[in-house]
Structure 1
């Protein structure tokens, strides 16, 4: 897959079938849209493409981060590549694109730059200045200009409309066990392991701590059954997300205890994969009570992992 990060880079490309959308979660609905795009491109002898933004338009328009990310940019690109897409147009939502009218968006971007011959979009896709463009305008323009538009119906699983908004809500409420059903994968967050307060080490449960990435949606405070991915290996683990109220640390962190693991990970990159929530975060009267609860949490997680 060839990735283009600016309009200026997009040169000498072949005609395309383009999947239109933000694809911020590349969930199962997005995947279906992309698969149909790829299939149509192959049948027509064209190149398949996905058009998305590196920054969320709503955050740009609001002037602050109002929408949290579900995926890291590299993960997003990797998942799209795995669907056998030829081109990824991953552009910044900048002043130029922001102020394109819906008509110019179609002509100056989709047709002139992307060489679009067909496009796929969701039923609620909007584009152009003040989001005035919609699928009906694409269809009307396509009839006039000679390109095809395919609008996908709402994609539902268990009567739930699969959307990034719905998935963000699941994660924020700690319902991480449902993510795989709608995303096709478990929810993960990652980062560099930093030095914590070392309380876990003193009570027999050393943890690898990563700071919260403010751009990412994070699970609600609590204890979770997880996998810790390090150096290409998936290790069974248990993870606390929260502020550790028993010891008075008020900064939200993610701290993971990896079972049967004794390597030093400070400064290393890890990924935490969330499987199921065990309980909410609790403030205990003392560290001894906390230690007893952690032992129970570990037993619950080990039983889940069958170790």
Structure 2
């Protein structure tokens, strides 16, 4: 897959079928749009492409703080590439694009830059000045410029429309099982392992600690059954998200105990995938009481992993 990080980089490309949207979670609704794009491009012997923005549009449109990410940029690109896309147009969302009239947006970007022959988008896709560009406007412009438009109806699971906003809500509530169903994959957070207070090692449950990435949506404090990926290998694990109230005052972080694993990971990159929340974080009366609870948490997590055949 060829990635373009600015409009200026795009030149001498082949005609395309383009999936249009933020694709900030590449959730199951997004996946359907991308799959249809790839199939259409293959049938028409054109290049498949995804057009998205490298920053979230709400930040500029609503003048809000950065919207929390569901995917890291490199993970988003990898997922899109794995779906068979040829070109990823990962363009900064700027004031110029924000204020661009819809007709000019179509002509200058979709037609002249992307060499578009066909487009796929969601029912709520918007573009151009004051979001005046709608799927209906896109259809009108498509007739004018000679490219086809396919609009996907709302993608629902159990009567709920799949959206990145709803997925952020599920993450914030700690409903990781439903999050997995809506995303089509487990939610994950990655980072470099840092030195913690080393309490886990002294009580028999060594952990690998990563700091909270403030750019990412984060599950609430509590204990989770997880997988931990290191060096391309996925290991069953149990994870605490929180501030360790029993042993002092700490910044919120993620500490993972990896089963049947005894390697030192300080300074190494790991990824933690969240399967299921088992309890809230709480303050215990003593280190001994905390140790007993951790042992119980591990027993529960191991039972789950054994049932799934991963331990």
Task: Calculate the TM-score normalised by the size of structure 2.
Answer: 0.96
1:274 correspondence with 2:266: no
1:165 match: 165
Q: Which residue of 2 aligns with 1:203?
A: 203
Note the alpha carbon deviations across 1:227-257, whole angstroms, 9 max, x for none. Answer: 1100111111110001111122241100001
What is the match of residue 240 of structure 2?
240
**Contact 2:3–2:87 (Cα < 8 Å) also in 1:** yes
- Give the 5 Å matches for 1:48-197: 48-197=48-197
Q: Is the 8 A contact 1:18 1:49 kept in 2?
A: yes
Aligned equivalents of 1:85, 1:305: Cα separation in 2: 34
Contact 1:241/1:252 (8 A) holds in 2: yes
The Cα RMSD (Å) is 1.2
Q: How far 1:26 moved relative to its partner?
A: 0.5
CA distance in 1, matches of 2:43, 2:224: 45
CA distance in 2, matches of 1:24, 1:299: 36
CA-CA distance at 1:98 after TM superposition = 2.2
* 1:4 corresponds to: 4
CA displacement, residues 33-85 of structure 1 (integer Å, 9 cap, x when unaligned):
01111111122222111000111011233445341111111111111111111
Separation of aligned partners in 2, 1:260 and 1:146: 60
Hey, what does 1:15 align to over in structure 2? 15
Q: 1:289 maps to what in 2?
A: 289
The whole-number CA distance in structure 1 between the counterparts of 2:60 and 2:249 is 33
Q: Stretches of 4+ moved more than 2 A in 1? A: 60-66
Residues 65, 215 of structure 1: 8 Å contact kept: no
Long gaps (5+) in structure 1:
none
Between the aligned partners of 2:168 and 2:294, the Cα distance in structure 1 is: 28
Q: Distance in 2 between matches of 1:210 and 1:61?
A: 32
Secondary structure of 1:23 counterpart: coil
Residue number in structure 2 paired with 1:212: 212
Q: How far did residue 175 of structure 1 move? A: 0.7
Determine the C-alpha separation between the residues in 1 that align with 2:100 and 2:87.
22
C-alpha deviations, 1:273-292, integer Å up to 9, x for none?
11111101111122211111
Distance (whole Å) between structure 2 residues aligned to residue 163 and residue 251 of structure 1:
30
Does the 8 Å contact 2:60/2:95 carry over to 1? no
How many residues are matched?
A: 307
TM-score, normalised via structure 1 length: 0.97
Secondary structure, aligned partner of 2:246: helix
Q: What does residue 303 of structure 2 align with?
A: 303
Matched residues in 2 for 1:248 and 1:58: separation? 37
Q: Distance in 1 between matches of 2:139 and 2:82?
A: 29
